[in-house]
Amino acid sequence: MQETCHFRRLHHWGLPPVYSLVLGIDLLEKTDLKSPLSEKSPYISIHSFKRVIEMKAAMLYGVKDLRIEDIPVPKAGAGEVLVKVKAATTCGTDLKIFQRGYVEKVIKLPTIFGHEWAGEVVEVGEGLEWPEKGMRVRAGNSAPCLHCTMCQKGKYNLCENMIWLWGAYAEYVKVPARMVLVNMQEIPQHVSFEEAAITEPFACVLHGVEEARVKLGDTVAIIGAGPIGLLHLLTVKKMGAEKVIAIDLVEERLHFAEKLGADETVNAGKVDAAEEVRQVTGGYGADVAIEAIGLPSTWEQALKLVRKGGTVLEFGGCPPGTEIKVNAEMLHYGELTMLGTFHTTPLHFKKALNLIASRTIDVRPLITRRMKLEEIKEAFKILSTSKSEIKIAINP
């Protein structure tokens, strides 16, 4: 039924067949559907809710300049959906943007901050027969155009016309029409809003480890035991990694990684990480190394952690203009594969939510604190200094 609904949405918006590829729909099987948009269609329902004029939102004006303001509640236009945010989760990217800024292509200031959220549909724009008012959903934080050259090549995460959605740290968030179509999912009843909000970073991690081709029996070294490093840890364990080595500078985080299943932990502030990884891999190095921090020094360090023929996934984004040194001998004679991955695709978002819902990957331990929207500045202060907080769930 889910797919039929999607098809109706596609049909209405007159989108090219390439959408079917993204959403995994066999259009040929569905061509016998009657016009889904006939006047009598029971699927068309335009809802309205008692309009609240203003809402609280955390507006980001610049580096470390985050303000709680009362702003107008957005209205859902044609094809758009207005959602009451029930939970938003803090993200390493948010912290990075808060502390040092980010590329303008992705975030234009001032803006409502935050991008990991889940909530309840309160208003459905004209022309949409899905979702329904009251439905529990998650969406975003991106939607590819499906038309550009990169999309046509199947690299949806590199779409040249990507739209980004910021606005999680607010009472309401308006989901753009394209995002309703390609990157919004219903949340199963047994999944909490805060769990569902983690779909976004998890989708990025899934995309990364798939590209890095982690295999059953691999030894994987992960630099960084923050939220992203820990998501990598949970995922590669499920993919059959025989040994996972967590590397960080903070002892508390390494303990946390151990609790989540890390087989070995290395405090890179106390010992030489490359030496240590070699020691626990019989002198060879890991099959795969994942950098989950976003610093040139750790990007370079990751290259020293793998065996000949190993793979290095540079996952953490470095500041624009960053360059790193690569040992050509290692790359050539050691046949290293070095790759970067950025963001994720609608397919991975869908897969991520399913894996969270089935608890194949249990993301619940990653939420270490819950705070109110009004306390958002405090939340970022805590994240900047705390050694033990992983993700904070913000409840408006």
Where on the chain is the footprint of Zn ion (CB under 5 A)?
91, 93, 116, 144-145, 148, 151, 159, 200-201
Give, to the nearest 10 degrees, the angle between helix 199-212 and helix 227-238: 60
Torsion 127-131-137-142 (CA) sign: negative
Instruction: Enumerate the H helices of the chain as residue ranges.
Output: 2-13, 18-23, 27-30, 92-100, 149-152, 177-182, 193-197, 199-212, 227-238, 251-259, 273-279, 296-303, 328-333, 346-357, 376-385
Is the distance from CB of 161 to CB of 112 less than 8 angstroms? no
Query: Which tokens is 123 given?
Result: 């208003």
Q: How far is the CB of 34 from Zn ion (least distance, A)?
A: 31
Q: Which is nearer to Zn ion, 285 or 346 (CB)?
A: 346
Residue 45 amino acid letter: S
Among residues 44 and 228, whose Cβ is nearest to Zn ion?
Answer: 228
* Minimum distance from residue 36 beta carbon to Zn ion (Å): 25
**The two three-digit tokens of residue 297, written as one number:** 């020094």
Please provide residue 27's backbone torsions phi and psi, each rounded to the nearest 5 degrees: -65, -35
DSSP string for 349-374: HHHHHHHHHTTSS--GGGEEEEEEGG
Our CB check for Zn ion shows the closer of 83 and 273 to be 83
Query: Please, what is the minimum distance in Å from the beta carbon of residue 123 to Zn ion?
Result: 25
Structure tokens at 265: 């932990």
Q: Which residues pair with 69 in a beta bridge?
A: 57
C-beta of 125 vs 144, nearer to Zn ion: 144
Closest approach of Zn ion to the CB of residue 363, in Å: 12
Minimum separation from the CB atom of position 388 to Zn ion (A): 20
Nearer to Zn ion, 82 or 352 (CB): 352
CB nearer to Zn ion: pick between 113 and 256: 113
Closest CA to 360 of 231, 207, 253, 258: 231
Residue 116 C-beta: closest distance to Zn ion, Å: 5
Q: Pairing between strand 306-314 and 286-291?
A: parallel
- Single-letter residue type at 70: D
CB 328 → Zn ion: shortest distance, Å? 34
Q: Which is nearer to Zn ion, 116 or 194 (CB)?
A: 116
For Zn ion, the closer of residues 298 and 344 by Cβ is 344
Smallest distance from Zn ion to CB 144, Å: 5
